[in-house]
A and B are shown apart, each in its own frame.
Chain A
Amino acid sequence: EAGVAQSPRYKIIEKRQSVAFWCNPISGHATLYWYQQILGQGPKLLIQFQNNGVVDDSQLPKDRFSAERLKGVDSTLKIQPAKLEDSAVYLCASSLGLVSAGTQYFGPGTRLTVL
């Protein structure tokens, strides 16, 4: 079974530029998560989808971050414009079950450096 796929693996941009990340969850997984992991900290949930609907985006900085999951399968996370403090690893995860149940499986992450 293929795991969670993410691209790109690494991205370096200058502040005020825009960037987009892509995630393809495990086939059949209804729930998809985007996390931000700053060095030395645990992952922080940015947004959670159930199929193509948003379940939780309370920690997503909506003035600059946006995410979509068209057709309830793959997802994109965009940052526009980027700030220095956005430097982090962006992790995508998926789970089979409903909103509050099920093992989360993580992709390899995208390491973003904002200069």
Chain B
Amino acid sequence: GIQVEQSPPDLILQEGANSTLRCNFSDSVNNLQWFHQNPWGQLINLFYIPSGTKQNGRLSATTVATERYSLLYISSSQTTDSGVYFCAVPKTNAGKSTFGDGTTLTVKP
């Protein structure tokens, strides 16, 4: 099945800093989703982005499907941005719905 790899595994920032999280996938996909899992365990949708670029406030995401990667940008980070960020490839004809192992972000005040 498809492999999903995220980097870095851990990231520590000072409040106000910018960051880039990366998601690589091993096969072509026709959809990709970014989630934020807050400290209480709730998975919150950030972006549904099979290709191109989307922005929502301080967050934006870009997927380059032909090169099999997606990037999540966080600008002017806040302590509430802390948590684990996952990318996921929902089920395709080639395999099952697959999540990466996540990037744990800690934003310090």
State the interface size on chain A (CB cutoff 8 A).
Answer: 27
Can you list, as one digit per residue, whether each of A40-65 has a CB less than 8 Å from chain B (1) or not (0)? 01111100100000011011000000
Residue numbers in B under 8 Å from A106 (CB-CB): 35, 42-44
Interface size class of B (residues with CB under 8 A): 20 to 34
Contact: A56 with B45, CB < 8 Å? no
Best-surrounded residue of B30, B43, B92, B93 (most CB of chain A within 10 A): B43
Which residue on chain B has the smallest CB distance to residue A56? Answer: B96
A-B contact count (CB 8 A): 65
Residue numbers in A under 8 Å from B100 (CB-CB): 42
Can you list, as one digit per residue, whether each of B26-69 has a CB less than 8 Å from chain A (1) or not (0)? 00001101010000111111001000000000000000000000
State in angstroms the CA–CA spacing of A41 and B44 once bound together: 16
State in angstroms the CA–CA spacing of A93 and B43 once bound together: 10
Contact: B93 with A100, CB < 8 Å? yes
Residue numbers in B under 8 Å from A89 (CB-CB): 41
Residue numbers in A under 8 Å from B42 (CB-CB): 106, 108-109
Contact: A102 with B90, CB < 8 Å? yes
Q: Could you pull out 17 A-B pairs where Cβ atoms are within 8 angstroms?
A: A33-B97, A42-B100, A42-B101, A43-B86, A43-B88, A44-B99, A48-B97, A56-B91, A91-B43, A93-B43, A95-B90, A99-B91, A100-B30, A103-B45, A104-B45, A104-B90, A106-B43
A contact set with B: CB distance below 8 Å: 33, 35, 41-45, 48, 55-56, 58-59, 89, 91, 93, 95, 99-106, 108-109, 111
